[in-house]
Structure 1
Amino acid sequence: MDAKFHDVDSNHVGIDVNSLISRQAKRAGYYRDEDGAFQDLRLNSRRPMQVWVDYDAMARRLDVPKPKNPLLSQVIDLSTVMADKMYVAFSSSSGIDSTHHYVLGWSFSLDGPAPPLDFSKLPALPHVGPKPLSKILNVVLPLASSLLVIAVLGVVFFILWYRR
C-alpha cells in the first residue's frame, strides 16, 4: 500500500491509465453468483486466478465483469490513449515485499467477446523458492558418506592390526 498513490489497501485491483494512481480501485475479490456476497482474494496466495477485462468502445466502458457482477466498471474513452503501435499490459506491485505474478494465458479480441482459454494448454506456475535436491544427490550423498566412514574405519583397523 502506498499513500502517495491513494492505494485502497495492499491487496487491491485498480484501473490505471498512464498513471500509478488508479481511476477506480477495490479490494481484490469477486461477488459470488449464488448470493452476491463479496469473496476476498489474496493476490499473493500463489493460487491461479482468472481475470476478465472487457472494453466496450461504443459505450466507452471498461469492466472487470466476472463472474457475474462487475468488480470494477469505469466509463473511459481509451481512444485518447491508444496509438497505432502500443503495448497493453498488466502491472503489479507489492511494496517492499518480493512477490511474483505471472500471466499464463491471454485471450484478446477487437470485435466481440474474446475466445475462451483452453486451461489444459496453459503452462504450470513456475517453481519459486529454493530448488529441491535432485534424486541423484539424495542417493549419492548418503552413499558417499557411508563409504567414507567405512574407508576411514578400515584404515584405522588396518593401522591398529599392522602395529601388533
Structure 2
Amino acid sequence: MAGMLEEIAQQAHVTSAHLVDTSRPTRLTGVKLGDIAEVQFAEPLEAALTWRIRMGELLDALAEGDTGLLITVDEVREDLDEMVQLVSAFQHFVRERRKVALFMAGLPAHVSALLQDKSVSFLRRANFYDIGIVSDFEVENALRQTFEEGASSALGGKQPS
C-alpha cells in the first residue's frame, strides 16, 4: 500500500478530468538567438507541491462546478505513515469546509490501532458504522440492483431486456 496517497491523487485527477482541467502548463524560461536559436521550458513543479496542496487545488476546481470528492480506503492499516497523512490532510479539508468525504473500511483491530495514533484525534470524532457480516445474498442483491439501475439509466429509464 506504499504510494497510497499518490494513487489517490492520480485516480482523483483521472476520474475528474471530464470536469476540470488539472494539467499544469509548462513555462517558457528562456530564448536564445545566438548560434541559431534555443528555447527553454520549465516543467511543472508538481513534485514540489505537497499532496495536501495538490488535492486542495483539485477540490477547489471541483467546487467551481459544485462537485466534491469521495475518497475511499479499503483495508485500513495503522502501520502506514500515509494513512496518518491522509487523515491529517482530510482534517484540514473539513476545517476548510471543502466538499470532500472519506470512507474507510478495515478490520476492527487495525481501525482501533489507527485511532490510537496521536495525530488522528480528529478521526476519533468521526461517524463509525459497524456493518457486521454481510451475507452473500445481500451482496448479490445490492450488485444486481446497482447493475439494473445503471443499465436503466443508460437506456433512458427503460428496463433492459
Q: Larger helix proportion, structure 1 or 2?
A: 2
Give the TM-score normalised by structure 2: 0.24
- In our comparison, the structure showing a higher alpha carbon Rg is 1
Higher relative contact order (CA 8 A, sep 6+): 2
Give the TM-score normalised by structure 1: 0.24
